[in-house]
Structure 1
Amino acid sequence: MKKNQVNLGVREVPNLPKWIALSLQHLFAMFGATILVPFLTGLSPAVALVSSGVGTLAYLAITKGRIPAYLGSSFAFIPPIIAADQAAGVPGIMLGSFMAGLVYGGVSMLIKLFGTKWIMKILPPVVVGPVIIVIGLGLASTAVDMAMNDSEGNYSLSYMSIAAVTLALTIIASLFFKGFMNIIPVLFGITGGYLFALTQGVVDTSGIQAEWNEITSATGVWSFLGSVFQLPDFTLPFRDFSPGSVPIAEIALIMVPIAFVTIAEHIGDQMVLSKVVGQNFLDKPGLHRSIAGDGLATMIASFLGGPPNTTYGENIGVLAITKVFSVFVIGGAAVTAIFFGFIGIVTEVIGAVPSAVMGGVSILLFGIIASSGLRMLIDNNIDLGDKRNLIISSVILVIGVGGAKLQFDGFAVSSMALATLVGVFLNLVLPGKESAYGNGNMFKTEDQTQAEKSDDSAA
């Protein structure tokens, strides 16, 4: 990357007006997706905003302020969150998130000691790609149900029309808008769908009206501040539940396997980010620091009641478009997200979004997740004509999408976790492992890359 293409370097501080504007841009880019995850899983959107902001600040600290990445709610964890909720409620979700964060920490230490070769052997594209497809397709029925059924579970043409309008607006913004509007299609679609839903009479605005009445009727500065700012509904582990009340083994089998998949996604994000910024973040400050920061953000979320966090592609897109790479801008977005989480009327506005609106945008987002898994296979030139690759990917897809699970006395292994574990096992035991990496570069081991360089030199 040429120097004159960079508008603001990683360690540069913008002036205050520009700082605020650029940080708000990142906030808008991540906002729609970050609140969608808690909306789908029954967690608090306000807590998700706060935990994403705090998690991002922790990530920036762990990475020594060298990687301009924003962390928001992870879509990959939606199915295991739902499964953990069914098994043990919110305490189970938080314990599972904490254990997933510990996995990140353990992987970080192993990478620091032994490099990346071992994790690439466990998670080649032929395993990670189909698992990501399973994550997207496994959520398809959830998106469609939200789009076409009312709050009582009955088919509603009105809800279907709201979902269709939301989906159409999101697609239009993504394909035809330019500049800033092009990087916030999810937020644009949700806002437009929300406004259309108001015309259909399906939005309950009583909570918003109550908050507004409280604000406008406040007398005095302290009364006004007290009516505007409210403490989010945090779930604090040592206050709200005891670890002994949660089936630890079952929650671990539900949540932990997905952590390995999101770690593979994280590595891919870091490679893309390195290309966008023009610096090798895997080398300095190091992949081990980046993964540790991601894990710490997820553990922080588990102590507040928020969903697991992950680095956001939406914000990487903002970096690519604006060429503004300042970590101070990212930090500003994080602080603003925390601030929004404490504003009561913002929470009420988010909570009033009809399920049809979220269903409409989810049709696209969950499909994109599945397609990104397919893209991983394509980008790495995975040959599905190879019987080994065909067997591994086929078994993962059917187990994951089909809903197969293992049940024992006291706990169960969810279909997604089972698909991941079976895929890893098949890849480790079946002969011909070299075909699992294809001809792409993203997930090749150090030995493979070095061997290819040697072959090229010999040629």
Structure 2
Amino acid sequence: MKQPKMRLGIQEIPRADQWLLFSLQHLCAMFGATVLVPFLIDMSPATALLSSGLGTLAFILITKGQVPAYLGSSFAFIAPILSAQAIGGTEGAMIGSFFAGIIYGVVALIIKAAGTNWITKLLPPIVVGPVIMVIGLSLATTAVDNAMYLPGTDEYSLVHIVTAGITLGVAVIATMYVKGFLNLIPILLGLIAGYVFALTQGLIDLSPIREADWFAVPELIIPFYTYDPSLNWAIIAIMAPVALVTLAEHTGQLMVLSKISGKNFLQKPGMHRTVMGDGIATIIAASIGGPPNTTYGENVGVIAITRVFSVFVIAGAAVLAITFSFIGKVAALISSIPEAVMGGISIMLFGIIASAGIRMLVDNKLDMGEKRNMVIASIILVVGIGGATVRFSDTFEIAGMSLATIIGLVLHAVLPNKNVSYGEQNMFEENPEQH
């Protein structure tokens, strides 16, 4: 690969003043999205920050400090976690997240033994694209409800919809028209604007922030300490298959990083290490009560613009996230964000996720006029967004996105003329088989 100009190389240690500034940039880039996930699934934002920081440090260690990637809360797991919570509470969702991390580990071992080409064959764009669309669209009602109604009711509120509109508007303007670093944090800018407007409308009670301690241990959910874990196969069936979707997301982020850095991370340190890093980060999160982790596009964007590739900068951002998680006033501030503000920003975020699925189909130039492609995409979308469920017993069912993913993989395996479902995908053209 052509070697690009780097302001700081992957193994370079920056000056102390630059180190803090560059790490803060990464923290700002991931902050809005990472704390939005726990807010939507009723988990502690402070715990999400802690698990994000710890997961990133684990990723850096596992990849031998050769991949400058930051890990944050995964949006792909929002709907499955909500379903898992309905069955077995937050503790049950953590067990499901743990097994999703185990799936990552198994995949990493297979990649180590067999290389990466099988992933392309298993996860064609005609399956992954519509599943990514399901991730965003299945959450659409959550975003709109938060934006339109008084919290916990179905009572329409004009103040709330205006607050959501201002939040969304600022995020859109920042995305489209703001230049430089601020263009990388449109989510955070939208949250700030919406929060300030909500303050003027009396939607925020600041007393919990004033009363919060400066130092506070995050709300940890630890197996065998705060609860006795038990297997629930229904929850595992809901959450574990999501790892296949995030695996495709992970691969895409890794390819982008490889392109902008001029290094083939799929080959060195190897995709088996990066996938294992994602898996260990998700297991760490599940062990302390945080949402599953994945590599973050926002932070890849920061690297692309600043040309700062140093893993020490990424590690610094992780340490800052861990530090913030123990500042009680920060956790109280995040918890005070009104649902209307979160609803406004979610409208754009969930739509962007769905659009990413469409982009996958377009980028790979899939012919949607082909009957095979139409059948697979249509069934995945309706099953996933409709929330279809196959219930085998009172304790075991496969539902929503997990069911849609499985059906998509089965259809791809059994329907004829497979070659039309790959389009022009050649994800690993520069990555020879690893043995």
TM (norm. structure 1) is: 0.92
Give the superposed CA RMSD: 1.5
Structure 1 residue 440 displacement after superposition: 3.0
Structure 1 residue 191 displacement after superposition: 0.8
Task: Choose the corresponding residue for 1:343, options 327, 331, 335.
Answer: 327
Give yes or no for the alignment of 1:442 onto 2:431.
no
1:28–1:231 CA distance, 2 compared to 1 (3 A): same
Determine if contact 2:116/2:428 at 8 Å carries over to the other structure: no
Determine if contact 2:37/2:291 at 8 Å carries over to the other structure: yes
Matched residue type, 1:423: G
Task: Choose the corresponding residue for 1:234, options 220, 235, 246.
Answer: 220
Give yes or no for the alignment of 1:100 onto 2:85.
no
Q: Deviations over 1:279-303 (max 9, x none)?
A: 1000000000000000000000001
Structure 2: give runs of 5+ residues left out of the alignment: none
Give yes or no for the alignment of 1:356 onto 2:356.
no
> What is the DSSP-based 3-state SS (H/G/I as helix, E as strand, rest coil) of the residue aligned with 1:239?
coil
Structure 1: give runs of 5+ residues left out of the alignment: 212-226, 450-459
Q: Deviations over 1:388-433 (max 9, x none)?
A: 1111111101111112111232222121111000000000111111
**Aligned equivalent of 2:167:** 166
Give yes or no for the alignment of 1:426 onto 2:427.
no
Task: Choose the corresponding residue for 1:313, options 297, 305, 310.
Answer: 297
**Aligned equivalent of 2:263:** 279
Give yes or no for the alignment of 1:375 onto 2:363.
no
Mapping of residues 28-427 of structure 1, within 5 Å: 28-153=28-153, 154-211=155-212, 227-244=213-230, 246-247=231-232, 249-409=233-393, 410-427=395-412
Q: Which stretch of structure 1 is more off in the superposition, 403-412 or 259-268? A: 403-412
Inter-partner Cα distance in structure 1 for 2:259 and 2:388: 39
1:289–1:47 CA distance, 2 compared to 1 (3 A): same
Determine if contact 1:228/1:345 at 8 Å carries over to the other structure: yes
1:2–1:258 CA distance, 2 compared to 1 (3 A): closer
- Number of equivalenced pairs: 431
Structure 1 residue 442 displacement after superposition: 2.5
Inter-partner Cα distance in structure 2 for 1:20 and 1:209: 27
> What is the DSSP-based 3-state SS (H/G/I as helix, E as strand, rest coil) of the residue aligned with 2:95?
helix
Inter-partner Cα distance in structure 2 for 1:282 and 1:135: 26
Determine if contact 2:10/2:66 at 8 Å carries over to the other structure: yes
Matched residue type, 1:332: G
Determine if contact 1:392/1:426 at 8 Å carries over to the other structure: yes
Structure 1 residue 119 displacement after superposition: 2.1
TM (norm. structure 2) is: 0.97
Structure 1 residue 238 displacement after superposition: 1.1
Structure with the bigger percentage of helix: 1
Structure 1 residue 439 displacement after superposition: 1.5
Structure 1 residue 444 displacement after superposition: 7.6
1:404–1:5 CA distance, 2 compared to 1 (3 A): same
Inter-partner Cα distance in structure 2 for 1:254 and 1:175: 36
Matched residue type, 2:427: M
Determine if contact 1:125/1:376 at 8 Å carries over to the other structure: yes
Matched residue type, 2:165: A
Matched residue type, 1:182: N
Inter-partner Cα distance in structure 2 for 1:290 and 1:2: 22
Determine if contact 1:52/1:337 at 8 Å carries over to the other structure: yes
Q: Deviations over 1:310-348 (max 9, x none)?
A: 000000000000000000000000000000000000000
1:445–1:339 CA distance, 2 compared to 1 (3 A): closer
Determine if contact 1:437/1:443 at 8 Å carries over to the other structure: no
Inter-partner Cα distance in structure 2 for 1:194 and 1:308: 27
Inter-partner Cα distance in structure 1 for 2:76 and 2:391: 22
Matched residue type, 1:236: I
User: Deviation above 3 Å: which 4+ runs of structure 1?
Assistant: 1-4, 443-447
